[in-house]
Structure 1
Amino acid sequence: MEEENEILIYKKARIAGLLYCFVFAGGFFAEVFVRQKLMVYGDPIATATNILANESLYRWGFAISLLYLICNIPIALIFYNIFKRADKFLAALLLLFFLTGNTVEIVNIINHYTPLDVLKITSGVNGFNQNQSSLLAYLSLNAFTTGFGITLVFFACYDLVIGLLILKSKYLPKLIGILMLMAGVCYLTNSFSLFLYPEFAEKLFPFVLFPCFVGELVLALWLTFKGIKLLRYTYAK
C-alpha cells in the first residue's frame, strides 16, 4: 500500500510538471506575444489600433490566460501534498501564497479583456471620440500591468518558500531550490521597483526577470521528465 502511495506521488509530481509547462508557455505567450506585442507604451491610439487589428490574437491571449490560471489550482494542491512531509508549515505557506497570487491574477485578468469591450462599445457612441476610447482602453491595460505586479509579489513569496522546501527536502536537485530563491528575490525586486521607482523598473526589465524565467522553466521540465526522488520522499516520512 505504501509503495502504491509513493508511485501515486511520483505520478502527481509528473502531472504537476506537465501543468507547470503549460502555465509557463501560456504565460509567456499571453505576455510576450499578445500584451507586449500589441501595447505601445505611451501611445493609446496605436495600442487601440493594434488590439482591433489583432482581435483574434487578443482574445486568445485572454482565453489562454484563464486556462493556465485554472491549471495553477491543481499544481498548488499537488505541491502541498508532496512537500507537507518535509515541512507542513512551509507547505501550507506555499499553498496560501500560490492560491492568493492566483486569485489576484484571476481578478486582474478582467483588465486584459476590458479594453476590447471599451473599444467595441464606444465605437460610434455619441460623446466618445477615438482619443477618449483609446485612452480608456489604454488605462485598463495599464491597470493590468500594475495588478500583475501585485500578483508577482505573492508568487515571489511562493518561489521563496518552494526554494526553501526543495533545499530542505532534497526531493529535487539543490540547484533548482537556489534558482527558485533567486526567482523570488527577482520578482520582488521587479514589483517593488515598479511601484516605487517606475523609471528604474523600466531599465531593469526584462533583465531582472531572466532568473525567474530560468528557475520556473527548470522546475517545470525537471518535474515533467524526472519527477521527484522517491527514496528521499520515503525517508522524509
Structure 2
Amino acid sequence: MNTLTTTSNPVNNAPTTSRRWTPRAVARTAGVFYLVIFTCGLFSELYVRGTLVDPASAAATAANITESSGLFRVGFLADTLMVLCDVAVAVLLYVLLRPVSRTLSTLAAAFRLTQAAVLGSILLAQFAALLLLDPAGPGAGLSTDDRDALVGLTMEAHSYGYLIGLVFFAAHLLVLAYLLIKSSWFPSWLGGILGVAGVGYAADSLGFFLLPGYDGTLSPVLLAPAVIAEFSMIAWLLLRGVRMDAGQRDVDGVDSQTGVTA
C-alpha cells in the first residue's frame, strides 16, 4: 500500500498529504503526457500546417492563413501544449530511468528539454505570420507581395527550427533506447526501435541542412519507424507501465530495488 506523509499547513493548520509514486504510476503518467504530445504534434504539423502552408507559394500560404486564422491559432495552441507536455515527459522519464544510469538519464532529459526549448522559441516565428497578416499589425504598411514574402519566410524559419529541434530529439531517443535496453523494466525490442527512430530523425533533419537540394523525398521512409516506435512507447507506458514482479514492490509502494518516489 502507499505511505501517506502528513504535514502541517502554515495557513490554516489543516493536514496535507503527499503520496509516493510507484514506478508503474510514473510510467503511466508519462504515457498520458506522451499521448498528448503525439496527438498534438500530428495535428499541428500534418493537418494544420500541412493544409495551410504551401512551400511553393508564399502568396497561397498567406491567403490560407488569412482564411483559416482560427485553425492556425488552434494549431499554435496544440504546439504550445505539446511543448509543455514534452517538459513533463522529460522529467518523468528521468525519474523513472535514473536508477539505470543517473548520468545517461540526465543526458536524455537534457536533450529532450533542449528540444522543447527550441520548439517553444520557434512558436514566435509561427505567430509572427498572424501579426504580419493583421490589417492593423506591423505588416500594414507593406505591399501585398512583400508581406506575403515575409509570411512565407517566417513559416520557413519555423520549419527549419522544427528540424533543429528534432536533431536534439533524435539524440534523446538514442540515449533513451540504450537506457530501455539496459533496464529490465522494458522489452529490448522497444529500445531497439526507438534507436532506429532516433537515427531516422537525425538523418532526415540533418539532410535538409547538409545535402544541397534535399527536399525530404526520403522522409516517409526515414520517419515511418519513428511513428511506429513512438506509438509503441506510448502504448507500453499506458498499458503496461513497467515490467515488474509483485515482489519488486515494498509496502510503501516504492520499488525496493530503485526507490523511485515522487
The TM-score, its normalising length taken from structure 1, stands at 0.92
| Structure 2 CA distance for aligned equivalents of residues 167 and 214 of structure 1 | 17
- After superposition, the C-alpha distances for 1:72-123 in whole angstroms (9 at most, x for unaligned) are 1121111111111111111111111111111111111111111111111256
Contact 1:105/1:147 (8 A) holds in 2: yes
Counterpart residue number, 1:106: 120
Q: What letter is aligned with 1:180?
A: L
User: Which residue is 1:196 aligned to?
Assistant: 210
Give 2:150's aligned residue.
136
Which of 59, 68, 81 does residue 54 from structure 1 map onto?
A: 68
| Aligned equivalents of 1:154, 1:224: Cα separation in 2 | 25
More helix by share: 1
* Equivalent residue, structure 1, for 2:14: none
Q: Is 2:162 the counterpart of 1:145?
A: no
1:78 aligns with 2:92: yes
One-letter code aligned to 2:233: L
Distance 1:90 1:163, change over 3 A: same
Alignment of 1:1-237 (within 5 A): 8-120=22-134, 121=137, 125-126=140-141, 128-231=142-245, 234-235=256-257
Change (3 A) 1:87 1:201: farther
Contact 1:45 1:131 (C-alpha < 8 Å) held by counterparts: yes
Alpha-carbon distance in 1 for matches of 2:210, 2:90: 30
Amino acid in structure 1 at the alignment position of 2:99 = R
Kindly provide the amino acid, as one letter, of the partner of residue 162 in structure 1: L
* Matches of 1:3 and 1:178, distance apart in 2: 36
The alignment-based identity, stated in percent, is 29
**Whose Rg is larger?**
2
CA distance in 1, matches of 2:138, 2:111: 38
Tell me, what secondary structure is at the counterpart of 1:206? helix
Maintained 8 Å contact 1:16/1:78: yes
Structure 1: which 5+ runs fail to align?
none
2:16 — aligned with what?
Answer: none
- Cα separation, 2, equivalents of 1:20 and 1:14: 9
Instruction: State the superposition RMSD in angstroms.
Output: 2.0
Q: Give the Cα separation in 2 of the matches to 1:8 and 1:27.
A: 29
Aligned length: 235
Distance 2:123 2:129 in 1: 11
* Whole-angstrom distance in 2 between the partners of 1:218 and 1:146: 27
